[in-house]
Amino acid sequence: MASARYRSLELNTARLVKRFLPKKLTGPFSNRQHDLARGFRLLAHAEIEAYLEDRSGEVALTAVRQFMADRKPRPVVWSLVSFQLVQEQLTDNHLKNHYGGTLDRLEDVVTKAHNSYKYMLLHNHGIRETNVLKMLLPIGFARTEIDTTWLSTMDSFGTNRGETAHTSYKPTQLVDPATEKSTVDEILKGLAVLDPVFSRLR
C-alpha cells in the first residue's frame, strides 16, 4: 500500500497536469501551451524532489530516534554511519583517548552521521543521479533496488529542469506537453516501486 506521502505526491502532480497541460496531448501546441509545459516541468520537479527528501529524512530520523531509545542495531543507522565515518587506526594515542572518554561514543557517532545526512538533505538541489543516490544509499537502499533506467530518466528530467530554470526563454526551445506528462508518469511509477522500500526501512 502506498504511503500517505506518495499519495500526496500523486495528487499534487495530478493537479499540476490539470492546471498546466492541455487535455489533448496531441499537437500542434500553441506558444502558451509550450510555456505552460515549461512551468509544469519546474513544478513537477519540485514535487518529486520534495517527496524524495521528505521520505528519506523520515526514514533516517525514525531509525536514529529508535536507536537512541533502545540502542538496538538497525540497518539504517549502520548505513548512515558507514557513509559518514572514515576508519581510524587504533594507535596508542587513539586508545588512550577512547579510555579517557574524549572520543565519541556510539551515540555521538550516530548523531554526527544523522546531522551530516540532514545537512545534505537540507542543501539538496535537484533529482539528478547523484542527488538521488546521496539520498537513498546512506539510509540503506540496495543498489539493486534502484532501477537504472528510472535513474537515467530522473537524471535527464533533472537536467532539463535545470536548463529550463537557468536559461533565458528561446522560441526554439519548446517544451512538448505530451513528453513532459509521459516523463513524469514514468518517474512516478519508479517512485511507486521505491515507496514500499522507504516504509520497510522505516
Mean pLDDT over the full length of the chain = 88
pLDDT digits (tens, 9 = 90+) for 120-144: 999 999 999 999 999 999 999 999 9
Q: Which residue has the cell 515549461?
A: 38
Mean pLDDT across 89-111: 66
Q: How many CB atoms lie within 10 A of CB 165?
A: 12
Q: How confident is the model at residue 105 (pLDDT cuts 50, 70, 90)?
A: low
State how many domains the chain has: 1
Mean pLDDT across 146-150: 96
pLDDT digits (tens, 9 = 90+) for 18-28: 999 999 998 89
Q: Which of 10-14, 48-52, 89-93, 183-187 has the lowest mean pLDDT?
A: 89-93
Q: How confident is the model at residue 98 (pLDDT cuts 50, 70, 90)?
A: low
Model confidence pTM above 0.85? no
C-alpha cell at 133: 543516490
Among 63, 65, 92, 97, CA closest to 79: 63
Give the span between the Cα atoms of 117 and 57, in whole angstroms.
8
More confident site: 1 or 147: 147
Range of the domain at 155: 4-201
What pLDDT does residue 67 have? 92
Q: Is 65 exposed, middle or buried (0-12, 13-18, 19+ CB in 10 A)?
A: exposed
